[in-house]
Homo-oligomer: A and B are copies of this chain.
Amino acid sequence: MKVYTGGGDKGKTSLFSGERVAKHSLRIESYGDLDELNSLIGAVLAVLPDNSQLVARELAQIQARLFQAGAWLATTADSSASQFLDPMDESLVSELEGAIDTLSEELPPLKVFILPGGHQSAALAHVARTVCRRCERRASQLVEELEAEGELDAALSVIAVYLNRLSDYLFVAARYLNKVTATQEQAWQKP
């Protein structure tokens, strides 16, 4: 079973809705970065401590949601392809907010910046957090561009909000992973 098809060797590729677009077009950038984020979450999962099954389940669920989001990013508004996709609605955002609230309850309140790092899983969660914020920047740019052209699908606005919340989830998860591994968190000290 081969994985390479060669169809993209000349710099264009296909959306799920069929259009041929440049590989460096904004949609492809957007879901390409989402794929990077998804892979980084996989890297967090690979080094997760045993006593964090809750986070393990949540991260796996988030990976599935990112594929759902990726499929929407690969589909132009009003395309008949969207009938095949699972809806992206605000409930996905509340799902994340619930998870943030639950983890936050375990953590001391924070009024300063913390140096990203600590346990390896926490350190990688911080990397994932910042890549998530990069995804959010691309999504925000795509939303702006599509809105200007009157081609914005509502699913994409939800994705942007989801990514905003996801970066907060990853921040809280990083702190939580340090807590359950008894790793001291370091506040940013000015010089």
Contacts and interface: CB of A to CB of B under 8 A. Distances in A.
Nearest to A60: B115
Interface residues of A, number: 76
Contacts of A150: none
Contacts of A67: 113, 115, 188
Interface in A34-81: 35-36, 38-43, 45-47, 60, 63-65, 67-68
Contacts of A118: 42, 46
Contact of A68 (B60, B63, B141, B190): B190
Count this chain's copies in the assembly.
Answer: 3
Interface in A4-22: 4, 6, 8-9, 11, 22
Interface of A: 1-4, 6, 8-9, 11, 22-24, 28-29, 32-33, 35-36, 38-43, 45-47, 60, 63-65, 67-68, 86, 97, 100-101, 104, 107, 109-110, 113, 115-120, 122-124, 126-127, 129-131, 133-134, 136-138, 140-141, 143-144, 160-161, 164-165, 168, 171-172, 186, 188-191
